[in-house]
Chains A and B, each alone.
Chain A
Amino acid sequence: MRDLAKRFGATTALAGMTWAARRGQVTAVLGPNGAGKTTTIECAEGLQRPDSGEVRVLGADPWQAGPDHRAAVGVMLQDGGLPNASTPVRLLRHLAAFHQSPADVDALVERLGIDAFSGTTVRRLSGGQKQRVALAAALVGRPEVAFLDEPTAGLDPHARLDAWELLRETRDTGCAVIVTTHSFEEAERLADHIVIVDRGRVATQGSLAELTGERSLEKIYFSLTREATR
């Protein structure tokens, strides 16, 4: 994406956002609340249309892309987007039916420990359980690009490790995995490429080694981002 700008009324969400993610890499978009992470990702998913600038995902403009493009792009929204009345496995099988050759739902369910609560309706799941179902929903189409908005928020440490491992495996299939996070630990441990954003712009980007050198990611982060106002 190049020079992305987006305003909501008087608020500037994006002010010239430029970065790229590669296949076979995990790209972490790291930044404080209100830095424009979600807006950026939503522009790339085709949920928002930028006021100016250009987004290309797999060579296409996501705002106008057709079903085959959407089939190749996995999405995990920050607020989940899961229908409340369904049970996790029924929902995942249903989403798999949108794809010509989806992932193995049973294997995905087992990998993420969803089988432990497969009979519970989404409404009654805990936050962490919902996160796992939403992550599975994003990966069920075997995407070439996966946009995951805070995929491990609310997960306990074990579930987080499981999710990271699954994301690494997904990356190793050649998928471009893009996660937003405000966790340095997540960025350090998971990301091949880190994009630090602040106030709608990229503050810096590069691999962990390129960014940090002698200093810690945490120090770099605080020196580049101001504390959010909310």
Chain B
Amino acid sequence: MSTASTGTEPDNHAAPARQRVLAQTRFETGTLLRNGEQLLVAIVLPAMALVGLALSHSPSLGPGRRIDLAVPGVLALAVISTAFTGQAISTAFDRRYGVLRLLGVSPLGRNGLLVAKALAVLTIELLQFLVIGGLGLALGWHPEWIGLFAAGLMTLVGTWTFVALALLLAGTLRAEGVLALANLIWVLLLGLGGVIVPPSQMPAGLSRIAALLPSGALGNGLRAAFIDGRLAAVPLLVLVVWGAVATVLASRTFRWSD
């Protein structure tokens, strides 16, 4: 059936919510994929880290096949890159340039923007998992496939936690400050956060701290899922606590305008 437009009434309704959110998701994803630095941090650096780990013997990743230990850690790193560093920086600059305000008064609205950002992050992560997972398989990774569900859950919770932490930074500090800090934290977590090198392989004092960081928890959770095929309760709990605290703080402190 076709209906001809009568063409008399001004018809400036909003597009349906789903269409608005998906349009914004595509836009955000496209913007991230066009951004060279972002691609470097999201895909190239984690892939290089994986190849480096596969070809070397240090640092120690613990007992077991090295590639099986390396891939989950690199996947955790990829999540942190996109959900934390990438989102913190892009949201901070969007806030600085008034983009958040303009989209807030567009038909998309603030809630639509938040949902779209979450979907864009998950889309990029899916891409990262395909690239890094594929590379891992080529390098001889034997994941415990039964752990896929646990890994998916861990990734979702980890994404929520790291996006909340990103918004906590992006909504309160100046854009340049966020740029510096988000990158610095990424490097610190990479080195000391128990992401790639499991907390159990770190010196005693550091080891306990790293396991309680969201980075160490995500790394441990993904390792437990892909190596033992199980859902690790403690890392999950650690992530939930960080996520809940960061969400409450971010929703209280986030400023939409600079």
Chain B residues contacting A141 (CB-CB under 8 Å) are: 12, 107
Q: Knowing A81-B98, A82-B97, A99-B12 touch, does A46 contact B105 (C-beta < 8 A)?
A: yes
Separation in Å of the B69 CB from the closest CB of chain A? Answer: 36
CB within 8 Å of A: which B1-22 residues? 10-15, 17, 19-20
Q: Flag if B102 contacts A143 (CB, 8 Å).
A: no
Other-chain residue from B10, B17, B94, B101 in contact with A77 (beta carbon distance below 8 A): B101
Chain A residues contacting B14 (CB-CB under 8 Å) are: 67-68, 70-71, 98-100
Say yes or no: is B104 at the interface (Cβ < 8 Å to chain A): yes
Other-chain residue from B12, B19, B106 in contact with A144 (beta carbon distance below 8 A): B12
Interface string of B82-117 (1 = CB under 8 A from A): 000000000001100111011111111100100000
A100 to B16 Cα, complex, angstroms: 8
Chain B residues contacting A100 (CB-CB under 8 Å) are: 11-15
Q: Flag if B104 contacts A47 (CB, 8 Å).
A: yes
A97 to B15 Cα, complex, angstroms: 7
Q: Flag if B107 contacts A83 (CB, 8 Å).
A: no
Q: Flag if A70 contacts B31 (CB, 8 Å).
A: no
CB within 8 Å of B: which A55-89 residues? 67-68, 70-73, 75, 77, 79-86
Separation in Å of the B100 CB from the closest CB of chain A? Answer: 8
Say yes or no: is A192 at the interface (Cβ < 8 Å to chain B): no
Separation in Å of the A9 CB from the closest CB of chain B? Answer: 15
Residue in A closest to B30 when the chains form the complex, CB atoms:
A90
Q: Flag if A75 contacts B102 (CB, 8 Å).
A: yes
Interface string of A160-203 (1 = CB under 8 A from B): 00000000000001100000000000000000000000000000
Q: Flag if B108 contacts A98 (CB, 8 Å).
A: yes
Say yes or no: is A150 at the interface (Cβ < 8 Å to chain B): no
Residue in B closest to A81 when the chains form the complex, CB atoms:
B102
Q: Flag if B102 contacts A98 (CB, 8 Å).
A: no
Q: Flag if B97 contacts A79 (CB, 8 Å).
A: yes
Chain B residues contacting A144 (CB-CB under 8 Å) are: 10, 12
